[in-house]
Amino acid sequence: MHTALDTLTGILGDVTDLDHTASLLEWDEQVKMPPGGATTRGHMTSTIRRLAHERFTADDVGALIEQARAETAGADPSSTPARLLTVTARDYDKARRVPAAFVAEQARVLSASQHAWIDARAASRFEAFRPHLERVIELKRQYVSFFPPGAHPYDVLLDDYEPGTTTAEIQALFEALRPRQVALIRAIAERPAVDDRCLRARWPEADLDAFSREVVTALGFDWTRGRQDRSVHPFATGIGPHDVRITTRYVEQEPLSLLFGALHETGHALYEQGIDPAVARTPLGRAVSLGIHESQSRLWENLVARSRPFWQHFFPALRARFASALGDTDLDAFYKAINRVQRSLIRVEADEATYNLHVMLRVEIEIALIEGRLAVADLPEVWRTKMREYLDLDPPDDARGVLQDIHWSGGLLGYFPTYTLGNVVSAQLWDAFGREHPARDLDIARGDFATLLGWLREQVHRHGRMLTPQQLVERATGSPIDPEPYLAYLEEKYGEIYGI
């Protein structure tokens, strides 16, 4: 017998296919598309996003949700059908508030904005990007207006990436992190600097790319369901669990950013590849939140790939391939070099101790933009002021200042807080895995990553949106989201490196 739930699931599959098509177009736009294709691609993406929105928000979808609820009345709330209806109803309510014409216009504006950002960043000219960003901010404020007034307008944007989390909660998290991170940074500043000259040597790009692919393979990335390319800014795109794309980039002044960028995006990709295929063409077949997503990228990039056991395994191969760059650098010196703490201009190249300060700066700016307290025209100077305040640095140009991140050009306001949430959750997951698997470090030192990946598959990846972010964290770690394990991890790690 064909049920309302069956009909609804079919429609949701069509909508998911359209969303995946748009994601593929957007990936191609950043990686393969010739520059002259920007206008045409903007129209294509706009049309696909509008069609997906119109189909999902149609009246019959709402009616089917209610009929399916009646059919499944009394079902276990944690069952797949019940959870599917809960998540779909929430998404439907949010999407119905946003006109399809707005969705199409925003997609077109964001496509043009991202190309303008690429050119402006290359020329280090914020003024060339400013009118595009002003339009993006206008649209974000308009988007907020579609929803009932809440405690803070930024809550609406944050909810798109971290469902149920509020601006007040993020600000409270920052307040918990800031004092101890600042104290740690000051204590490190009083110690002798780590010798990181080996990282400034010449590391051939082609060899680094080949080595990074070997490491990504060892971690468990499935190349039959994924690929790696280059882009201006590293990112990961999931087009369902069977097609996951990652990108990286080579920075001559920071050559190993290619490797660590690839490992960061691999963390995202492993999550996408691990979602249960049974829910792939439904709203359940996505990551539960960007904070949880970032916990995976930060866990593999930092807690695994910047650990001593990791390099006990990989350093001999690295040394053999890059003998001229490493010289007489031994494992201990290399480990300290890749974990050096220094105030830096660029967020994606920041060390673990200072990274959250970069996030806090951006979130403060986003909140001020949405509140209307800050004009886009004033952004470069405000950025410089906050960089001096947070990191005692003065960006010499816009490319290394306000133009460094792709997020605002893509309309991703509300995304930045998820990086800090990801840092916090990554440490909780790492601790929980270590409690269950006391041989964790020994496994990593001998190149066995399958046990960790299997645990993450079970505790995080496979669930998609079957659990809420808090439910997932509590189930995996035994406690709600808590900054203490992350702070303890930083203090122990850098205390040992710097002799604090």
pLDDT the model gives residue 179:
94
What's this model's pTM, rounded to 2 decimal places? Answer: 0.93
In this structure, of 53-57, 345-349, 403-407, the range with the lowest mean pLDDT score is 345-349
Q: Are 399 and 121 in contact (CB under 8 A)?
A: yes
| DSSP notation for 330-341 | -HHHHHHHHT--
Specify the fold of 167-498.
Neurolysin; domain 3 (1.10.1370)
| DSSP notation for 300-328 | IIIIITTSHHHHHHHHHHHHHH-HHHHTT
Strand-pair partners of 244: 226, 238
Q: What is the DSSP letter of 33?
A: -
Tokens of 89: 């109803």
The b-or-e profile of 119-132 (16+ CB within 10 A means b, else e) is ebbeeeebebbbeb
Tokens of 109: 């504006």
pLDDT band for position 252 (cuts 50, 70, 90): confident
Would the pLDDT of 1 be above 80? no
Q: How far apart are CA 412 and CA 239, in angstroms?
A: 19
pLDDT the model gives residue 254:
83
In the predicted model, what is the mean pLDDT of the chain? 95
272-304 pLDDT per residue, tens: 999 999 999 999 999 999 999 999 999 999 999
Among 315, 223, 312, 228, which Cα is nearest to 263's? 228
pLDDT the model gives residue 232:
83
pLDDT the model gives residue 180:
95
415-444 pLDDT per residue, tens: 999 999 999 999 999 999 999 999 999 999
The 10 Å Cβ neighbour count of residue 79 is 12
Geometric angle at alpha carbon 128, from 138 and 29, rounded to 5°: 80
Secondary structure element (H or E) that encloses residue 230, with its range = strand 226-230
Domain regions of the chain by residue span: 4-149, 167-498
Catalytic residue among 29, 162, 265, 272: 265
pLDDT band for position 233 (cuts 50, 70, 90): confident
Mean pLDDT of 360-369: 97
pLDDT the model gives residue 348:
84
The sign of the dihedral angle between the CA atoms of 203, 205, 206, 209 is positive
88-121 pLDDT per residue, tens: 999 999 999 999 999 999 999 999 999 999 999 9
Quick check: is 265 catalytic?
yes
